[in-house]
Structure formats: structure tokens, C-alpha cells
Chains A and B, each alone.
Chain A
């Protein structure tokens, strides 16, 4: 009887352990890289806010589609997510964005409104106001002939070195 009870308790907890053998939140997939702000060639100081009196900047990710988007409006119509606001006091900073496996376009947008006012807006509300945003950076693979390139996210992997340099005179290639 004693053995039975002890075995029962052990089995009960082994059962629970098996039931809960998952590790909870799993390692995530996404992209990471660095964002570089332009610096004054003479003083070496970071240039911000640029000619458009920007009030903040975000990394944005959109779905990769052919034909490529021909305007910021159409890009925003396929926006997937955006980062926390970039620190505009740092010349270079790392970022990470969680994404599901797939193909994406990455870029930086400057905002003409207060960053804090946009922070918790759902994507629908954000994409309804493309006039607040000015594209100031696009990701292109190193050595690419084009100023834009797709980013592939693989299952269970982080795609690294998605570095983007800010260019206040950026012209969309679409």
C-alpha cells in the first residue's frame, strides 16, 4: 500500500511534468542589424533631424511583392510592423524585429508628428496616414546594384546584418 501511494505521487508529478514539458515561449525568428545615421564630415557629429525637421524615426517592414511598390502609399498598404522609435542621439544602433518566415522589404521612415503620439497606434490607423512619414532609408544587400533588396526570414533563424543607412535625400526607386 505504501509503495502504491508513493508510486502514485511520483506518477502524478511525472504526468504533470510530461504535460508541461514544453518550454513556454520559444526562441523567435526575425531580422536584426544596425541603423546608421549620417554624420557631419567635418565635425563628426550626428545629423538630426535633417532637412524635414523630423521628430522621430522607425524601422518599418513591409511584405515583399512584385511588382515593387510604386509609392509610399502602396508600401504602407502592405506594412507588416514597425520598431520602437530609434534613438536619435546615437550614430549607430542595433535593432531587432520579430517576423514570421517569409520575404520582406525593410526601410526607415522619419515622422513629422510626435513619435509618442503614434507609438501604440494599431497598424490600420498608422497606414491610414502615410502623409506623416518620409522614407529616409532602404535596405539593400551589400554590393547590390539596386538600392533595394528582399530580406528572407527562415524558420527558427534570425536573419542577421540587415544594416540600413539613413539618407535624408533618399528617392524611392520604385
Chain B
């Protein structure tokens, strides 16, 4: 009823005008893309494009205060009078870096808000940090964030997921708010997540089910792509990389250089209210190990149309064709980069297509609404010695979101989310699924010191004729603003994840591993809480938290001792608790910045009274960046993961020394050179000291990789 009321409510704002302008740096008048411009005390706002330009339609005809916010620049406000039917030009010139302006995030509450006002930990990775590390996919960047690990493709936030060959992710991945997890196996296809045109990545480190439903039990990663620039722009990117040979001659699997190459061309342009971007690219690699090769072709398109009256339409399409070799486990510990002889021809062909459309309407200063439509189609075709199997999965989903601002510091968000899913497969059968959800969130500020958030989401999930699984997940959050730059936060959230078709119905064999179905699998649930603080000054940013998650019916792959087959089962109870601290600081007198982040987790399987498998107790990331001039910056990274306490299949053999695991120490470095305004060169090194380690049993980690990338924009 509330949704209906919010949707149909017609604004009584006949007298409106338009604000447009340009935001630039006060130092060199260069445009500042990605700057948020908001009308204080309203939901109206915009972000600048690459040319630093913005506009806001349907602004009430009265005196309004505009505020421009950009990280690294002082926020600036201007009060203007909006005249009915006319456009007011409001330009800003921002002064750099006397105090950091507040960072803006959208993932915590589904609307733009200050990071320090979030009751849960939200980490952000900026466009610069992404570009400096030269990623082929964003999976190359995420592990530099504290508490985030990718174990052979499986995304873990604070130990949430463990490892199940990618299936059943407990972290939801979104691209501009659109889910990008395959329906059938619940896996993240990293090559289907854009690694270019990213404005920032936001990582919600806690349960997200109260807003994002199933799959967001362990957190959310939201990739925010940038808008199309106001000026015509073309981009050519060429990249190449080479893996080092293994130190031990016996481990060398090929005489050829192990290369990684990619190219990409993109053009974007605006014609009045219409903007478009089109891109094509290809990535080819031999991989660092036998059968680690891949060949990918990517097509992407984006269309933006600004409709009158603060309405906008954005449509994005991404298609990837990929073929790659399959490496399940090494041939032997003396040949860790060889695949067993009978698997050398194993390969997989995959296709992914995502088409997302967002309609946004800022109806009035108090009321906005969004409609999201998403089509996500994935398919794979396994051609392996141990099995030939195929699956095609498609999801059609839609979401209506309404934002209403009943009071000065009071926000109400409500929405309806629905999806139809289908899979055809010879290893988990032909299945149909439906999802339906309602969500509601209330945010209030009391005396500008206390922030209260409450919300809940009701999810109904069904696969085939299996019983309907219905869950209500509430959340509560509290922030206390102790000082202008210091916030204490606390949150408590319920979450769930419904089992995916693969976990319930899979019946297959890959190399030596047999997997059997479990159609009785139930949803896993969790209650998670955290207490933290966020302190931001110009020189220092500190984010610390302690957290506790209690899981019930946790779904984990278990080796059945009766028949030696792997099966996904609900293990009754588990707890993951820990602490995390991230400190960023700028060095005085030298143009350098540092970041140290450390996460400790204690993951316990309470039923078996053992450590949960595939989790690292300690993780540490240290990054140093030195900006030598406008044209040259360089840096070095260090990542540490403590020895994985337990694995499922091949534990360490004390009699023979086989399947030994070690702590992981990885160094990397990067150097970025802007030769001129158009040409950028980027050099990076991963695993600088060629450290040998395994994360998953009998899978050696990547060798040293040196990458060079050139980007020419014109």
C-alpha cells in the first residue's frame, strides 16, 4: 500500500526551474569529473561527467543551497534563487585538500550518503587505485582491500564464503546496483564484471540481505561505472604481460614465454540529451600454468538519455565470449604447473550477456523513484576427459525503488524486487525459479548527532516444485557523531542465502572429484553484528570494527566418508568473529601516502568443533604510494595471509610432507606515467619475489607477472 502510494503520488510542484554548471579545480581550472552536486535538504542532485559538467532538473522555484563534494577538495556551497522555467548557471571552483571532504557511498542504504554516516563498514576503491594496478579483471584489485580474499575465483569478505569452486557465492556482486551472479551455480564470472570505466568500487562488509536479499549474506561488492562524458572521447588501450619462469627447472611446463595480452577500443559521445559509449576488446593469455590459457572477446555498450523533468534513462549491455583451459589440480608436487596428462585437452567455452536498464525519476525535492530491469544470461560448455556437460542459465529481474523524504533528516526507502530464472543443464537438470521480495528502510537523524537506521526485506524464493523458502531479514543501525570527523557505529542484521540449483542438483565428476546432489538443502541464515568507529582528518583516516556472525544451516561442500563423494550440506552451526582496522595516512613533507589494514577472523564450525575450512585467520595489506610529480607516481604493496588452518580434501601429510601449506607473502609494485594529457603508461608487477604458495590444495599460486599497459585517449 505504501509502495503504491509512493509510486502514484504526484508532485505538486508546478513552479520549477533547472540548474546547470561546471565544476573545476581552483588551481588549474581542470574539470572535476565525478563530483557530487546536491541540493541540501532534498533528494535532488547530480554527479559531474568527465567534462566536469552537471545539471539538475525540476528544482523548486525558490532559494536553494547547492553543495559540491569531491574527495580531496574542500566542499563548497552556494545559495541561489531558482526562477520558474529558467536555467540557472552555477559553476564551482573547488580548492584542493585542506580538509578531506566526506566520501559518498550508495551501497549501504541504496541512496547517496556519507561514508562516515554508514552503520556498517563500507570500503571504497577509487578509479586511481584500480588503474594503477593494471587489472585484467577486478578480481586482481579486490584482494588489496582488508578482509577481502579471492580463493580461486571465490569471493570472501571476512571469511564468509570459504571455497566451493566458485559455486554459491555469499557475497553479492552488483554492477551499478544490478546483480551479476549466475542463477544456476551462484558463481561470479569475473570476466563478466567490467574492469574499465569504473568510477569506484564499494564493498559492504557485513550482511546485506535486508536490502539485497539472498547472496548478500556475507557482504556486497558494488561496481559503480562512470557516466558518459560530455565531450567526444575515444580510447585505445593496449596491454601486455609476461610471467616469470618457475625457479626450479623441473617445474617449467613450456619453452615458450608465458604471455598475457589485451587490447580495447572505446568511443563515447553525446548528442544533446543522448549519450552513448561503444567498446570492443580482447584478452588472450597462455596462463602461468599448463591449461591456464584463456581467450576472451568483449563487447560493451552504454546509452544515456536525459528526459525532461529530472528523468533519466540508462541502458548498459555487456557480452563476453570466453574459452579457457581447465586446471583442477597439479600433476604432482614436483610439477605443480603441469596438469595431469589426461586433462591437458580439458577446456570450457562460456558466454555471458548482461543487459541492464535504469529509469530514474526525481519527482520532487522529497520524492524520487527508480525502475531497474536486468537480463543476465550465462552459458558454459565443458569439454573434459572426465565429463562433457553444458548449462544455460538466464535471469530476468526487475526492481522498483521509491525514496521519500518526509522530514529534514528523515529518509524512507521502499521497493519491490522480482525475478524469473531458468536453467537448462545436463548436470543439474532443467530448473525454473522465481524470486519475489519487498524491502523497506527508514533512516533518521536526531539532532544531527545520532543516526538511526531500520529496515527489513521479505524474500520468497522457489526452485522447481521444491518447497517455497520465505525469509524476513531485518536490520538495525546506529551512528553516533562524537566529533565532526569521528563517528561511532553499530549494526545488527539478519541475512540468508537460498541454495542455488547447482548445490541442490549437481551430479558430475571433474578429474578425480565426484559430486552428488542434495535436493533437501535448506537456506542458510545468519545474524551478524558489528561495532566500529570512523575517524577522518586531512592526514589520517582510521576505520576499525569488531564483528560477530552466527550462521545456522551453513552450506558447505563436505566429503561424504561413506562414498567419497562431495555433497553440499547444511552444517548446523558456525561462528565467524573478528576485528579489522584500516589506517590511511599522508606523510608530512613528502608526497606519499600509506595504507595499513589488518583483519583477524576466528571461523568456527560449532557442530564439528573445528575451524571452518578455507579461511585465513590473519590478513594484512600494506600499500605505499609516492607521487613524484603530476606525471609520475609509483608504489609498492605487500599482502600477507596466514597459513590456511584447514582444507577439505588433501590435508597436510605429516608422513610424507605432501600437501604442505605455508603463510602467503606477496609483494607487488606499480608505476604510472602520464606522458601527456592523452597518453598514459602503466607498469606493474605482481608476486615480485616469486613466492610459491597454495590457497587451494594442489593449485600453485600465480608466478611473478610483469604488466605494461598503454592508454591513449583522444
Asked whether A25 lies within 8 Å of B658 as measured between CB atoms, the reply is no
- From B700, which residue of chain A is reached at the shortest CB distance? A25
Could you tell me which residues of chain B, from 661 to 690, have a CB within 8 Å of some CB in chain A? 662, 664-665, 667, 689-690
Asked whether A28 lies within 8 Å of B624 as measured between CB atoms, the reply is no
Asked whether A98 lies within 8 Å of B333 as measured between CB atoms, the reply is yes
Interface string of A15-37 (1 = CB under 8 A from B): 01101111111111110100000
Q: Which of B342, B564, B592 has the most CB of A within 10 A?
A: B564
A9 CA / B587 CA spacing, docked (Å):
10
- In the assembled complex, the CB of A29 is this many whole angstroms from the nearest CB of chain B, namely 7
Interface presence of B340 (CB below 8 A): yes
Interface presence of B590 (CB below 8 A): yes
Asked whether B592 lies within 8 Å of A5 as measured between CB atoms, the reply is yes
Could you tell me which residues of chain A, from 105 to 127, have a CB within 8 Å of some CB in chain B? 116-121, 123, 125
Could you tell me which residues of chain A, from 1 to 51, have a CB within 8 Å of some CB in chain B? 1-2, 5-6, 9, 12-13, 16-17, 19-30, 32
A100-B638 contact, Cβ under 8 Å, with A20-B665, A25-B694, A30-B334: no
Q: Which residues of A contact B509 (CB under 8 A)?
A: 116
- In the assembled complex, the CB of B690 is this many whole angstroms from the nearest CB of chain A, namely 7
Interface presence of A75 (CB below 8 A): no
- From A13, which residue of chain B is reached at the shortest CB distance? B636
A120-B559 contact, Cβ under 8 Å, with A9-B624, A93-B341: yes
Interface presence of B657 (CB below 8 A): yes
A116-B622 contact, Cβ under 8 Å, with A2-B590, A28-B334, A84-B340: no
The 8 Å CB contact of A158, one of B334, B514, B594, B622, is B334
- In the assembled complex, the CB of B507 is this many whole angstroms from the nearest CB of chain A, namely 13
Main secondary structure, interface of A, reads: mixed
Asked whether B649 lies within 8 Å of A120 as measured between CB atoms, the reply is yes
Interface string of B675-711 (1 = CB under 8 A from A): 0000000000000011111100000100000000000
- In the assembled complex, the CB of B500 is this many whole angstroms from the nearest CB of chain A, namely 24
- From A26, which residue of chain B is reached at the shortest CB distance? B692
- In the assembled complex, the CB of B312 is this many whole angstroms from the nearest CB of chain A, namely 45
- In the assembled complex, the CB of A36 is this many whole angstroms from the nearest CB of chain B, namely 15
Q: How many residues of B are counted as interface, with CB atoms below 8 angstroms from the partner's CB atoms?
A: 49
A17 CA / B248 CA spacing, docked (Å):
21
Q: Which residues of B contact A148 (CB under 8 A)?
A: none
A29 CA / B333 CA spacing, docked (Å):
9
Q: Which residues of A contact B638 (CB under 8 A)?
A: 13, 16, 20
- In the assembled complex, the CB of A88 is this many whole angstroms from the nearest CB of chain B, namely 11
The contact size tier of chain A is 35 or more
Q: Which of B341, B636, B655, B692 has the most CB of A within 10 A?
A: B655
Q: Which residues of A contact B483 (CB under 8 A)?
A: none
Q: Which residues of A contact B657 (CB under 8 A)?
A: 28-29, 98-100
Interface presence of B446 (CB below 8 A): no
Interface presence of B589 (CB below 8 A): yes
Asked whether B332 lies within 8 Å of A96 as measured between CB atoms, the reply is yes
Asked whether A80 lies within 8 Å of B656 as measured between CB atoms, the reply is yes
- From A81, which residue of chain B is reached at the shortest CB distance? B656
Asked whether A23 lies within 8 Å of B691 as measured between CB atoms, the reply is yes
- In the assembled complex, the CB of A153 is this many whole angstroms from the nearest CB of chain B, namely 10
Asked whether A25 lies within 8 Å of B662 as measured between CB atoms, the reply is yes
Interface presence of A85 (CB below 8 A): yes
The 8 Å CB contact of A20, one of B589, B624, B636, B691, is B691
A26 CA / B334 CA spacing, docked (Å):
10
Interface presence of A97 (CB below 8 A): yes
Q: A24-B664, A81-B655, A116-B565 are known contacts; what are 15 more A-B pairs with Cβ within 8 Å?
A: A5-B592, A12-B624, A20-B689, A23-B691, A26-B692, A30-B334, A80-B656, A81-B653, A84-B340, A96-B331, A96-B332, A96-B334, A100-B655, A100-B656, A118-B564
Cβ contacts A to B, 12 pairs, < 8 Å:
A6-B590, A30-B656, A61-B656, A80-B655, A81-B655, A84-B340, A87-B341, A87-B342, A96-B332, A116-B512, A120-B649, A158-B334
A residues lining the B interface (CB < 8 Å): 1-2, 5-6, 9, 12-13, 16-17, 19-30, 32, 61, 80-81, 84-85, 87, 90, 93, 95-100, 116-121, 123, 125, 158
B residues lining the A interface (CB < 8 Å): 247-248, 250, 331-335, 340-342, 509, 512, 514, 559, 561, 563-565, 587-590, 592, 594, 622, 624, 626, 636, 638, 640, 649, 653, 655-658, 660, 662, 664-665, 667, 689-694, 700
